[in-house]
Amino acid sequence: MATIFSKIIAGEIPSYKVAEDERFFAFLDINPLAKGHTLVVPKREVDYLFDLDDEELAAMQVFAKGVALAIQQAFPCKKVGQAVIGLEVPHAHIHLIPIQRESDMIFSNPKLQLTAEEFQAIAAAIHEQWAKNR
Ligand code: AMP
């Protein structure tokens, strides 16, 4: 059975898309720790990030680098933090989170409540920067 992220990639479930190429897809986390919290996933359905082969893992990290740059341009922050958890959705993904301090990366922090319009505007702002940088 396809994962929820495969359904998002296929457009069967809506998402706030940030970036896409032939092999990878980036969209906003629906329970964001900060404005701009983004997930980067491989289109190929693999549960555990470290089960990706070396070349695909490296390419995914390079794709995530471009998304992180665009996040920081759209939402100025000290750094874009990266985390891998993957206990909830069995489809490898990297979290990219704009942070000012270490505690901004704590996943048990309260999540932001954003409207659909806010999510759309955030995704559009990041996408615009990402497209410009290509
Ligand atoms: P984890 O697998 O522990 O890294 O957590 C999965 C992440 O995916 C969580 O931060 C969820 O908020 C996020 N998530 C789950 N379903 C969706 C969805 N349909 N759209 C966007 N983000 C999602």
Q: Please choose from 29, 106, 122 the residue to mutate so as to test ligand 1's pocket, defined by most ligand atoms within 8 A of CB.
A: 29
**What b/e string do you get for 92-118 counting C-beta neighbours within 10 Å, with b at 16 or more?**
bbbbbbbbeeeebbeeeeeeeebeeee
Which residue in 54, 56, 94, 98 sits closest to 73, CA to CA? Answer: 98
Q: One of 37, 91, 93, 127 is an active-site residue; which one?
A: 93
Residue 1's pLDDT is: 84
Contact 38, 26 (CB under 8 A): yes
Q: Is the pLDDT assigned to residue 117 strictly greater than 90?
A: yes
Average pLDDT of span 115-121: 98
**93 is known as an active-site residue:** yes
Whether the CB-CB separation of 40 and 50 falls below 8 Å is answered with no
Q: Is the pLDDT of residue 116 over 90?
A: yes
Q: What DSSP assignment string belongs to 41-92?
A: EESS--SSGGGS-HHHHHHHHHHHHHHHHHHHHHS--SEEEEE---SSSSS-
What's the confidence (pLDDT) of residue 22?
98
Q: Can you tell me whether residue 21 is helix, strand or coil?
A: coil
What pLDDT does 37 receive? 98
Residues with CB under 6 A from ligand 1: 4, 15, 29-31, 39, 85-89
Q: Whose Cα sits closest to atom 5 in ligand 1?
A: 88
| C-alpha Rg value of the chain to the nearest Å | 14
Per-residue pLDDT, averaged over 93-117, amounts to 98
Residue 30 half-sphere exposure, CB side, CA atoms within 13 Å? 7
Query: Ligand 1 centroid vs 94 CA: distance in angstroms?
Result: 10
The pLDDT tens digits for 16-45 are: 999 999 999 999 999 999 999 999 999 999
The string of pLDDT tens digits covering residues 51-98 is: 999 999 999 999 999 999 999 999 999 999 999 999 999 999 999 999
Q: Which atom of ligand 1 is nearest to the CA of 15?
A: 20
Q: How far is the CA of 34 from the centre of ligand 1 (A)?
A: 14
Give the C-alpha separation, 133 to 53, whole Å. Answer: 27
